[in-house]
Amino acid sequence: MNPTLDIITITKDDPGGIAATIYSTRKIRAYSGVRQIIVDGSSEPVQKLIQELLLGEDNIDYIWQKPCGIAAAFNQGLHIAKAEWVWFLNSKDEFHPNIDPLILLNILSSSKADAIIFELEFMQSRTRYVHPPMWALWPPVLFWVPHPATVVKRHLFEKYGRFKEEFKIAMDGEMWFRLFSQNVVVDMLSMPLTMYDEGGLSRRQKTETAREGIKIIRRYLPIMVRIWINNGKSICTAFRKFYKTSRAR
């Protein structure tokens, strides 16, 4: 039987950020079947400091990787991951202090979904990023699926591929689009899983993020149109069945 959860954390020259992240995950790493994978791209002096920070921590695997981008670091973590579920919690982001680890693990063990999208809370402003209304959930590119608060079945990456390393920032948006264009079952829970650092790359480089988002939409526009058409047909079919049933009563 596979372990329950691998938390994949990438970091680069940020000992303070990684210290905050691993401190926040101590309470869940204390449970059997939970591991945190640190993929470090730091320079040698910082690398040694981070290794010292990890001494004495339970259920952490550490690997150094030559810096080659966020997507490559995510993929390295996936290469090591063995658990049923994976969660990408970057350095500086934190496991939400109000979540009982046992409740989260019970949710994961009982869920039949392929992915569970939680909410996140912005760390600096203390505001909560709530799920959008149902009509705004498609397409899942960049704007509503927060990867720090999304837990995914590992087998999806084996079946549909890993992160595209051509993207510097929006690799998670491209990944969600590929996954959610398939027959993937997704649950949404309106509870914050993550304290999210607002100084992250995607918020600091909004122009580049938007540019990559447009690239994704252009690449997958035929899929978007097909899904919209099919969804429209399904809604019309359901309405006709409902209408016929109502008239027969």
Q: Which domain range does residue 127 map to?
A: 5-220
Amino acid 211: pLDDT = 86
CA distance 166 to 183: 25
Residues sharing a CB contact under 8 Å with residue 3, sequence separation 6 or more, in sequence order: 32, 33, 34, 35, 82, 83, 84
Instruction: Let me know if residue 24 belongs to a domain.
Output: yes
Is-cis flag, bond preceding 139, omega within 30? Answer: yes
| Residues in the chain, total | 249
Predicted confidence (pLDDT) at residue 193 exceeds the cutoff of 70? yes
Instruction: Let me know if residue 232 belongs to a domain.
Output: no
Cβ 61 vs Cβ 72: under 8 Å? no
Amino acid 216: pLDDT = 82
pLDDT band at 198 (very low <50, low <70, confident <90, very high): confident
Instruction: Let me know if residue 233 belongs to a domain.
Output: no
CA distance 163 to 160: 10
DSSP string covering 30-45:
TSTTEEEEEEE---HH
If you average pLDDT over residues 47-58, what whole number do you get?
94
Instruction: Let me know if residue 246 belongs to a domain.
Output: no
Instruction: Let me know if residue 237 belongs to a domain.
Output: no
Instruction: Let me know if residue 55 belongs to a domain.
Output: yes
Q: Please count the CA atoms within 13 angstroms of the CA of 45 that sit on its side-chain side.
A: 0
Mean pLDDT of the chain: 87
Residues sharing a CB contact under 8 Å with residue 217, sequence separation 6 or more, in sequence order: 139, 141, 224
Q: Which residue has the higher pLDDT, 235 or 174?
A: 174
Q: Which residue has the higher pLDDT, 2 or 125?
A: 125
Q: Tens digit of pLDDT for each residue in 127-152?
A: 998 888 877 776 665 567 888 999 99
pLDDT band at 243 (very low <50, low <70, confident <90, very high): very low
Q: How many domains does the chain have?
A: 1
Instruction: Let me know if residue 145 belongs to a domain.
Output: yes
> The domain spanning residue 166 has which CATH number?
3.90.550.10
